[in-house]
A and B are shown apart, each in its own frame.
Chain A
């Protein structure tokens, strides 16, 4: 069977090679020295990327950045992986934090320790730095952080005399009160298509899913704090105190219909929220995310960094571009030019830039960035994403829709995800220890 397929592949492949050669037209650009001039191709799906490229080109006449929109999600990462394999990768690409270790450990991106390492060390807090440093080397430069916060309907809470919860215990009481006040309304969501929030809450509780050693990994997806968090949310979902919804239109429909009156999200959600549900202006407010012991603590749900894929032929200019879009006030200004992005810069010094650009009318003049800044400060350090997060996430996501029906036990889902992850890592030839 294998041989037959190979023959067929070889056959069709030859045909295509002939055709492709016939159609000719090489687009190879000659390799240029690693100076800080020339063309830079830039792949991103992040809002504002086109504006950033334009602004950079205006202020840097020697470098010409060519921006190309790519889809987001797993499709993008397989596209990028294949591009590196084929030697057609861009010079700069966006990679979300959870996916960075996978690219780094497979040697698909360039080690930036020499060029941008000092910048990363200088500008970013430890918890953020640990997301792009791996094995003592720097692989990417953070753009935005995504500290947790809570969104809630001011009007609903006031009308039904519900207090803003500061602890997870109080949060639970809040969801009970919300359901009692309006049987159609809920005070939270367990997302069924994205484990990111659950992960961030494990991080907040002090969980550490992965640890990278010198030449081995440690996987503890179901450590104590994570199990506690999973048990808590599984229970809320099972008792129908929070809704189980996909992050896409089902969630936003529930917000639009006033069926979701509070939810935990990250800093960027504020902008997404006001853009998606514009007619609820003035009804929402932002609060610090509840914690287990009442002391401030947080985690990250989202966030992105920029990398130089292996095979880039202009890494000098690429590094210059990355530096500008992540740590230069002008670059940061270009990201948030639209005025509706509540992106939280990973470099704390740039918070005033984004804060100034963001209109606060939607949240009734509330200082969303102050809440974000406090949250950012309280993110515990030591969190590392795993080298096969795609596998880990899929293992969790597949079970999430079953949690509310009681067909899956959330803490156990974590244990299963750890097993699947460790298996996959070993298949890839990594050394893993898991308790």
Chain B
């Protein structure tokens, strides 16, 4: 699958530019457009995509198969083979019964952190992006570069300063300590500005103003619906980001009832084998499978918007 496997008869000529350097007549010896390299041929691209698909699906396959196994089979059988018996139902029962049903609590927490958080974050981002695009106010570009700076700072780097701040404010180990940081999404603001420029023609706004709509009404009734695909894209971005965020909840939370699902799973996983309760290991495996489901559902449901959002501004 490497480039060296090229079997192009014209390759030697093409591969030695110094020889053809003094002759500036490239068009002559070109019967047809230069054949693309093997990597870019149809078969090559398909194969590469196939590899990428495998890379994505293999862990999921392992997860799916392992979730159906009993604990003995989990360690006793091949990771990509079925166990002797299908234990999925028992495993799910155990998962939702473990520690007084704390898993369900974690899932609900995550849905709150990621779902409500991303919804509000998208709303704020779209409003801010729209304002940056359509409204004129002093210091606009300077403020916007501040937003861009915010994009550059990785979320993990913010976790410790946020934690110290939250401690100062006395909200460590509360719902808000994880929820509030999720509302700030500079990249979303940047995207929203691009979307606003692409989707909302100035003429429409002018018409709305002429008809007597106030700024706020114009945004809510005219601009927001027009930016719906952008809204969904931003929502999905932020939703996955909060769903996957690990370090922030790790430092902020110590009450198990407040954990998001990934942190809870990590607690099970990290001490399962070293502390000698391997049943938690199986729980972590099954719990991981269940925790993937909402993400898949959200993506499938919002796929149409997501796709149209991805190509927004491509043709303009």
Contacts and interface: CB of A to CB of B under 8 A. Distances in A.
A340 B173 contact: no
A70 B251 CA distance: 10
Interface residues of A, number: 61
Contacts of B160: 82
Contact of B153 (A5, A17, A46, A277): A5
B72 A256 contact: yes
A375 B146 CA distance: 62
A82 B163 CA distance: 8
Residue picked from A12, A25, A73, A78, most chain B C-beta under 10 Å: A12
Given A21-B169, A85-B164, A277-B75, A12 B158 contact: yes
Interface string B255-275: 110000001001100110111
Interface stretch (A219-227, A268-276, A285-293, A391-399): A268-276
A138 B146 CA distance: 49
Nearest to B151: A8
A8 B270 contact: no
A20 interface: yes
Contacts of B173: 27, 88
A125 B128 CA distance: 65
Nearest to B76: A256
A60 to B, nearest CB: 22
B184 interface: yes
Contact of A45 (B76, B162, B267, B279): B267
A39 B46 CA distance: 63
A41 B277 CA distance: 24
Given A9-B161, A85-B164, A268 B183 contact: no
A249 to B, nearest CB: 6
A275 B276 contact: yes
B273 A73 contact: no
Interface string A3-39: 0110111011101110111010111100000000000
Contacts of B63: none
B150 interface: yes
B166 A68 contact: no
B94 interface: no
Interface in B133-187: 146, 149-150, 152-153, 158, 160-174, 176, 180-181, 183-184, 186
Contacts of B279: 275
B271 A71 contact: yes
Given A9-B161, A19-B180, A85-B164, A43 B171 contact: no
A68 B75 contact: no
Interface string A59-75: 00000000011111101
Interface of A: 4-5, 7-9, 11-13, 15-17, 19-21, 23, 25-28, 41, 43, 45-47, 68-73, 75, 78-79, 82-83, 85-88, 90, 247-249, 252-253, 255-257, 268-269, 271-273, 275-279, 340-342
26 contacts: A5-B153, A7-B146, A7-B149, A8-B153, A9-B161, A11-B146, A12-B150, A16-B184, A20-B169, A23-B169, A25-B170, A45-B267, A45-B275, A47-B277, A68-B254, A79-B251, A82-B251, A90-B254, A248-B273, A249-B75, A252-B273, A252-B278, A269-B276, A275-B277, A276-B75, A279-B72
Given A25-B171, A71-B267, 11 more contacts: A9-B161, A16-B166, A17-B165, A20-B180, A21-B169, A47-B276, A47-B277, A68-B255, A69-B267, A82-B160, A247-B274
